[in-house]
Structure 1
Amino acid sequence: MNNKTGFNRLGRNASHRRALLKNLATSLIMHGKIQTTQAKAKELRSFVEKLVTRARVDSVHNRRMVARVITEKDVAKKLFTEVAPRYVGRPGGYTRIVKIGQRRGDASEMVVIEFVDAVADNKKEANIAG
């Protein structure tokens, strides 16, 4: 019996939810980390994990499948050339969700979602710089 195996609707209809996840995924790939609500981050995590898993194998088919979701060419290129190669040996778990407290206006739980190895890269750059 598969109880509660669905997904969070995020208070939106299907097309609005799909557009929201596409935009959040594009921002996450572009910037490496983003600040959002906990519910959105949990949905985004599975969405981005599937994209990165597909991008780990660079083929024409996979590029076209990713292009259906990531419509900005430079972001899709970054996914295939910079982000996905870091996770070739990792079987999933590419993102991390860190709680940062509640939003002042409505007390929503706010989090930062980021790629796991991004922190290690930032530390390496800091050590090289100084």
Structure 2
Amino acid sequence: MRHGKKTNHLGRQTAHRKAMLANMACSLIEHKRINTTVAKAKALKVFVEPLVTKSKEDTTHNRRIVFSKLRSKEAVSELFREVAPKVGDRPGGYTRVIKLGSRLGDAAEMALVELVDFNETYNVGEKPKKKKSTRRAGKKKTEDTASTAQPKEASAKETKKEEPKAEESKAEKKDDKKEE
């Protein structure tokens, strides 16, 4: 009887199922997202999450444990080098399963499995916030305008003094014309 046995066998023998999950996990670590069926996605999530938790602490023992499950040196090194530092502060929940709808050929429910911190779709809105600019620049402008306003007033006084001279010269020219 099957009472209390929660593992989804995915219609495969034990060795085939373990090999398939290891291959899917390596693909997920390498590409950061994969498309698969919903049942395989849920099984993959249960398979990958403990491996990512192990990769947070980079020890030889943890590397060997992860390698025994993944069976790929490249995937293990990428997991410890790239994935673990990004998810270091997260207390679990490293993967996301998004349902995509039915597959055309056999109407199987499809899903997208992705590593949460490597997502471009949902993380697009999370840009680094810009610091608010201070109003110090505005204060400097008022000081600058005050310092430039004084020379303008002085230059205005000088031009007023010069204008009567111009009027005098015009009057002299008119007198010269009258004499002629």
Task: Name the counterpart of 1:8.
Answer: 8
Overall identity of the aligned pairs, in %: 49
Match in the other structure for 1:35: 35
Give the AA of the match of 1:47. Answer: F
1:123 aligns with 2:124: yes
Tell me the residue number matched to 2:134. Answer: none
- In structure 1, the residue matched to 2:21 is 21
Q: How far does residue 101 in structure 1 lie from its aligned partner after superposition?
A: 1.0
- 1:69 partner letter: K
Give the structure with higher Rg (CA): 2
Q: How many residues align?
A: 124
- Superposition misfits of 4+ residues, deviation over 3 angstroms: 120-124
Residue 48 in 1 paired to residue 53 in 2? no
What's the secondary structure of 1:53's corresponding residue? helix
More strand by share: 1
Q: Where does the alignment leave 5 or more consecutive residues of structure 1 unmatched?
A: 125-130
Deviation at 1:77, TM superposition (A): 0.6
2-structure distance, mates of 1:52, 1:119: 16
Letter in 1 for 2:124: K
Aligned residue type for 1:65: I
Question: Quick one: distance in 1 between partners of 2:94 and 2:63?
Answer: 19
Q: Distance in 2 between matches of 1:104 and 1:84?
A: 36
Greater helix fraction, Structure 1 or Structure 2: 2
Residue aligning to 1:95? 95
